[in-house]
Amino acid sequence: MLKKKPAYNVAVVGVTGAVGAEMLEVLEARKFPVQTLLPLASSRSAGGTVSFRGEELAIMVLAPDSFKGIDLALFSAGSEVSKEFAPVAAKAGAVVIDNSAAWRMNQDVPLIVPEVNPQEVSRHRGIIANPNCSTTQMVVALKPLHDQARLKRIVVTTFQSVSGTGKEAMDELMDECRDLLGFKEAQPQVYPFQIAFNCLPQIDEFLPTGYTKEEMKLVHETRKIMGDHTIQITATTVRVPVYIGHSESVNIETERKLTANEARAILSAAPGVLVYDDPARKIYPMPLDVVGKDEVYVGRIREDESIPNGLNLWIVADNLRKGAALNAVQIAELLVSS
Question: Is residue 287 one of the residues assigned to a domain?
Answer: yes
Report the pLDDT value the prediction gives residue 238, as an integer from 0 to 100: 98
pLDDT digits (tens, 9 = 90+) for 101-158: 999 999 999 999 999 999 999 999 999 999 999 999 999 999 999 999 999 999 999 9
Catalytic site includes residue 229:
no
Q: Containing domain of residue 97, as a range?
A: 8-130+324-337
pLDDT digits (tens, 9 = 90+) for 303-315: 999 999 999 999 9
Question: Is residue 3 one of the residues assigned to a domain?
Answer: no
Q: Which of 146, 199, 220, 246 is catalytic?
A: 246
Q: Are residues 93 and 119 in the same domain?
A: yes
Q: Are residues 197 and 100 in the same domain?
A: no
- How many separate domains does the chain show? 2
Q: Are residues 299 and 153 in the same domain?
A: yes
Q: Are residues 184 and 207 in the same domain?
A: yes
Overall pTM > 0.75: yes
Question: Is residue 2 one of the residues assigned to a domain?
Answer: no
CATH number at residue 106: 3.40.50.720
Query: Which residue type sits at 103?
Result: W
Report the pLDDT value the prediction gives residue 1, as an integer from 0 to 100: 66
Mean pLDDT of the chain: 96
Nearest to 140 by CA among 26, 273, 235: 273
Kindly provide the b/e burial profile for residues 234-247, where b requires at least 16 CB atoms within 10 angstroms of the residue's own CB. Answer: ebbbebbbbbbbbb
Q: Are residues 81 and 142 in the same domain?
A: no
Report the pLDDT value the prediction gives residue 109, as an integer from 0 to 100: 98
Q: Are residues 93 and 176 in the same domain?
A: no
Question: Is residue 51 one of the residues assigned to a domain?
Answer: yes
Q: Which of 133, 177, 220, 229 is catalytic?
A: 133
Q: Are residues 113 and 99 in the same domain?
A: yes
Catalytic site includes residue 246:
yes
pLDDT digits (tens, 9 = 90+) for 219-250: 999 999 999 999 999 999 999 999 999 999 99
Confidence of residue 44 (pLDDT cuts 50, 70, 90): confident
Report the pLDDT value the prediction gives residue 148, as an integer from 0 to 100: 97
Q: Are residues 278 and 226 in the same domain?
A: yes
Q: Are residues 91 and 145 in the same domain?
A: no
CATH number at residue 148: 3.30.360.10
Q: Are residues 54 and 88 in the same domain?
A: yes
